[in-house]
Amino acid sequence: MTPAADDTDARISAFIRDPYPTLARIRAAAAVSALEYENGLPAWILTRYHDVAAALKDPRFGQDVRRTQAIADRRARGVTLGSDVVHMLNSDPPDHTRLRRLIQSVFTRRRVETMRPMVRRVAGDLLDGLRPRERFDVVLDFAFPLPIMIICTLLGFPPEDRHSYRAWSTAILTHGGDTSFEEATTEMNDYLRELMAARRAAPKDDILTELVRACDRRELTEQEVFSMVFLLLIGGHETTVNLLGTATLALLHHPDQLAWLRAHPEAMPMAVDEFLRYESPVSMATLRFTKEPVTVDGVEIPADELVLVSLGAANRDPDRFPEPDRLILERNDPGHLAFGQGLHRCLGAFLGKLESEVALCGLLDRFPHIEPAADEKTLPWRNTIMLRGLESLPVSVHG
Ligand code: HEM
């Protein structure tokens, strides 16, 4: 490796460990900055709260992955943006509207509230399993199985296959892990085809059965069923896993805040909003492109340009949040952008919040003393600039 490559690698790993100083510099320097995305692909980045919030609601920024891929192909070689997995999050209306409408009734506040006993049961069972241990991994043993078991229950998927779902999502989202992007999509599609056939033969009360019926009514194609399930599996676990891991780490770093939260468990919903602001699990929204020239804070971004929208930077903008780099559980400001905004605002926001509240309440309640069991500098982070989360968080518990 050349010294220059060495230096770049060191900078990337420093950014993955702590992106906030770099994001703060970019945000302070200009409203819109140019950067290189993967493989030298030129893109723009928005980091200021008001610009990010406005862009998320602005229909002049498109998300259709086929167009994004076409723009990328004209500018750089070998950038794969997942254009063979088209789902609501990487589509524009009218496809987005049709796909979201098919599924949105499952995730309303009222429907999600009826899931509370199921979420409590899953969290309780996992915590029971951890209770006899003096040391465990908050991410691997708790934060990962919890949301994936819940989304599997809703979809009607065997939770025991969860390690395959994780391997596929790692390969597809980060192009990392032991499985290649192509292998992961093929394996996942074969797996889904079998499950769909099983539901046709014996329908159940789950999302997969609903999607198979909608497919048979020709309201969506088989490929769209695959992509929808993929999105729900990924959206349904990657994000909440990240939040539970970073929230626990933040509490371990802030003993005063941890003590306050233990004394005020009823404040957990407000605390979860602060965890979402402080360490936004989706650090960068899905890649956007400009459908026409767009002026942001006096800077014109021409048409057909790729744009990164940094939710993590917006949520730490000092012009919106006083003392943004401090975790203040009593902040009581749900105005963060961790769930996005506008058309693509997170469909699973109520579920993600419910899972996080139940999980963190359960963890603090069962374990009155939690301490880090690894040196913080050695903690592995998810190797992507799009998501912010820990791979592992060993803790020791007693009392
Ligand atoms: C703490 C947990 C979660 C966070 C922080 C989160 C964050 C987000 C964000 C930021 C977006 C919009 C991205 C963009 O505009 O580019 C999004 C979209 C989405 N999320 Fe979540 N999410 C969470 C949990 C969930 C869960 C549990 C589900 C499961 C059902 C889910 C399903 C979705 C779907 C389907 C979309 C696409 C919506 C659309 O395009 O209309 N999310 N999420």
Q: Closest ligand 1 atom to the C-alpha of 231?
A: 35
What is residue 396's three-state secondary structure?
strand
Question: Which pLDDT value is given to residue 2?
Answer: 43
Question: In the chain, which residues have pLDDT < 70?
Answer: 1-6, 173-179, 399
**277 to each of 232, 329, 380, how far by Cα in Å?**
22, 10, 21
Q: How far apart are CA 302 and CA 35, in angstroms?
A: 15
Encode 329-360 in three state secondary structure.
Answer: HHHCCCCCCCCCCHHHCCCCHHHHHHHHHHHH
Choose the residue to mutate in 239, 287, 353, 388 for probing ligand 1, maximizing ligand atoms within 8 Å of C-beta. 239
Say if residue 94 is preceded by a cis peptide, omega within 30 of 0.
Answer: yes
Task: Using DSSP bridges, classify how beta strands 394-398 and 369-372 pair: parallel, antiparallel or unpaired.
Answer: antiparallel
Closest residue by Cα to atom 30, ligand 1, is 348
- Largest Cα–Cα distance of the chain, in whole Å? 60
- pLDDT recorded at residue 161: 85
Residue of the CA atom closest to atom 21 of ligand 1: 346
**Sequence-distant (≥ 6) Cβ neighbours of residue 205 within 8 angstroms:** none
Domain limits of the chain? 3-398
pLDDT of residue 101: 95
CATH no., domain 3-398: 1.10.630.10
Ligand 1 neighbours, Cβ below 6 Å, are 88-89, 100, 107, 151, 231-232, 235-236, 239-240, 243, 276, 281-282, 285-286, 311, 338-340, 344, 346-348, 351-352, 356
* CA–CA separation, 105 and 97 (whole Å): 13
- The rounded distance, in Å, linking the Cα atoms of 245 and 64 is 31
For Cα atoms 274, 309, 233, give the angle at the middle one, nearest 5 degrees: 70
Strand partners for 387: 282
> What is the rounded distance in angstroms from the CA atom of residue 42 to the CA atom of residue 34?
7
- Can you tell me the distance from the alpha carbon of 223 to that of 374, in angstroms, rounded to the nearest whole number? 43
Q: How far apart are CA 333 and CA 303, in angstroms?
A: 35
Residue 364 CB burial class (10 angstroms; 0-12, 13-18, ≥19): middle
Distance between CA 244 and CA 131 in Å, rounded?
18
Phi/psi-derived region of residue 87, left when phi > 0, alpha when psi is between -120 and 50, beta in every other case: beta
Are the C-beta atoms of 358 and 149 separated by less than 8 Å? no
Q: Which two tokens stand for residue 57?
A: 């609601």
pLDDT at 138: 98
Nearest-CA residue for ligand 1 atom 39 is 344
| Burial of 117: CB neighbours in 10 Å, binned 0-12, 13-18, 19+ | exposed
